[in-house]
A and B are shown apart, each in its own frame.
With several copies, the nearest count.
Chain A
Amino acid sequence: MTELISELQRERVYRLAASGTRSDGRTPEEVRPLTIEKNYIKNAEGSARVKLGNTDVLVGVKVELGVPYPDTPDSGVLSTGAELIPMASPYFESGPPRPDAIEIARVVDRGIREAHTIDFKKLCITPKEKVWICFVDMHVLDYDGNLFDAASYGAMSALTCTKVPASKIGKEDYPLPIQHYPVSVTAAKIRDVIVIDPNRQEEQIADARLTIATDENGDIRAMQKGLRGSFSYEEISRVIGLALKASEVIRTKIKA
């Protein structure tokens, strides 16, 4: 079941975006208000509730003992999941994660894993035998657009306040070793107009989507294009620029 939108609405949202003032009053280059509440869940080793406009995501990190993968015997393990629970939208259904949720989880996962966000070597207890496993569960509570970024901010915020429960094995708890702070920024292309942090209506009529994660040095750490439309090279470059610009204040909030 997908949400349908009338041609009239579609035209209205496009016109607004094209005019430079979006349906919620923002400029095309403006991110919605972002609030981050860390340590929201006491049963989790790390957690954060993130509101990006009306989009509301709760992320919990559980750190448990486990066995490393055979090909990385001296590294901890990351396991990332996203659930688009039916509470968050009339168009989300219960059941196993659908492609949308899987794509979000995998993009966030790669953003953490491939960008070397965490020093996984420091999560090894006994090589080949015992390591810490980080389960990052992203729970979408209210959907009003741009889950990619909201989930990503939630995951990064939760990780930054995660304590490895080493006291369970007779050592001292220590913070998860974070090495980088990649920040993802998502743009939507509506016909010829590009806006960042699209809200739900904008997302519905968007032709294409582009997520760019950049780090504290201004380098690119991850990209993911979505939807049926296309981007030109110039458009991609412009989105990278917008992402770099928007990411700084967001990074400050995530690190806070």
Chain B
Amino acid sequence: MEDVEHIEKKMKLIDENGLRLDGRKPEDMRPIRMEVGVLKRADGSAYIEWGGNKVLAAVYGPREAHPRHLQDPTKALVQCRYNMAPFSVTERKRPGPDRRSVEISKVISEAFDSVVFSEQFPRASVDIFIEILQADAGTRCAGLTAASIALADAGIPMRDLVASCAVGKIDGVVCLDLRKEEDNYGDADMPVAMIPRTGEVLLLQMDGHLTLDEFDKAFGMVKDAIGGIYEMQKDALRKRYAVTAEEFSDLPEQAPPERRAPPEREAPPEMPPEDGEVPQ
């Protein structure tokens, strides 16, 4: 009952033609643009614009974990810090971590933990920094997607890229990639991260209300979307290395940009393996 009342009062999110506020169909994503290697100081970095989201990701490591008592003698720590800039949201956010960003940092760290070959770097840390510069719902998916290619840019050995997207329900319709008004006034939101090639789900959260059928539909929809994002990630990485190669050929005299060699690092897989073989 209360749900009905709630729906009646709230903003109409899908029009008579089945289109969303910004003219998208339920299965449409917002425009996405990504770029690898955008920061000078970080070992790896990426920038993503995803609808109204502007997100930077940077990676440092593998480097000595500190403080020392947190070191794991068997593997590298994979730790993510998700942070929103104070001006990224409508109402200014106080600087520093709040409970929401602590939780998101935790689930993103866990999502990457089994993908990075962390056993190769005992006592080390791989540090992922995600900065939300401008927020418009779906920031954790955007950040995770960018962090994945920033890890590749840093030459961190990984089983594969991770890609992420959210799916939700608005006005009773399962829709992909909610924007802010849809998230605020919608019925459900479900961010998902996967290894696109294998379908392994590394991040899954959901709140609101989904029937079992809706869940199945939503899952199928977001799986497809994640496949598309994976292709964009690979394009962005290819573009980066193509440009680098070009730069090198243009500037034969200049030394390659300095980058700290990680301890005993394997040759970085510039591109994720296309076949299903997982090295170990």
Contacts and interface: CB of A to CB of B under 8 A. Distances in A.
> Direct contact between A and B in the complex (CB less than 8 angstroms)?
yes
Interface of A: 1, 40-44, 47, 54, 56, 58, 60-62, 64, 81, 83, 85-90, 94, 96-97, 99, 102-103, 105-106, 110-111, 113-116, 119, 121, 135, 137, 139, 141-144, 179, 207, 210, 215, 218-233, 236-237, 240
29 contacts: A1-B66, A40-B54, A41-B134, A42-B52, A54-B41, A56-B39, A60-B86, A60-B88, A62-B87, A62-B91, A87-B129, A99-B102, A103-B106, A115-B208, A135-B86, A135-B92, A137-B92, A142-B41, A210-B204, A218-B212, A220-B206, A220-B215, A223-B206, A223-B207, A224-B204, A225-B201, A225-B203, A230-B201, A233-B223
Contacts of A56: 39-40
A99 B108 CA distance: 12
Contacts of B100: 106
B203 A99 contact: no
A58 B133 contact: yes
B85 interface: yes
B131 A227 contact: no
Contacts of A54: 40-41
A230 B92 CA distance: 36
A192 to B, nearest CB: 13
Given A220-B211, A240-B215, A99 B199 contact: no
Given A99-B103, A232-B199, A142 B87 contact: no
A90 B102 CA distance: 21
B103 to A, nearest CB: 5
A116 B87 contact: no
B110 A231 contact: no
B129 A43 contact: no
Contacts of A89: 41
Given A116-B2, A219-B212, A230-B114, A142 B40 contact: yes
A144 B60 CA distance: 16
Interface string B1-34: 1110010000000000000000000000000000
A96 B102 CA distance: 12
B90 to A, nearest CB: 6
The residue among B2, B92, B106, B202 with the most chain A CB atoms within 10 A of its own CB is: B92
A81 B95 contact: yes
A47 B85 CA distance: 12
Contact of A221 (B87, B201, B208): B208
Contact of A87 (B6, B56, B86, B90): B56
Nearest to B220: A233
A60 B87 CA distance: 5
A201 B188 CA distance: 34
Nearest to A58: B133
Nearest to B129: A87
Given A56-B39, A85-B131, A90-B41, A115 B207 contact: yes
Contacts of A81: 86, 95
B58 A224 contact: no
A89 B107 CA distance: 23
A141 B39 contact: yes
B83 to A, nearest CB: 7
A41 B87 contact: yes
A52 B5 CA distance: 37
Contacts of B113: 228
B221 interface: no
Top 5 A-B pairs ranked by shortest CB distance? A60-B87, A230-B200, A228-B113, A223-B206, A114-B207
A254 B201 CA distance: 31
A190 to B, nearest CB: 14
Interface string B79-119: 00101011111111001110110110111001001100000
Contacts of B42: 87, 142
Contacts of A83: 95
A83 B133 CA distance: 13
A144 B134 contact: no
B268 to A, nearest CB: 18
Interface string B193-220: 0010001111111111111100110010
B124 interface: no
B92 A62 contact: yes
A114 B208 contact: yes
B107 A86 contact: no
Contact of B209 (A64, A210, A221, A228): A221
A225 B92 CA distance: 30
B85 A60 contact: yes
B6 A116 contact: yes
B9 to A, nearest CB: 10
Contacts of A94: 81, 83, 97
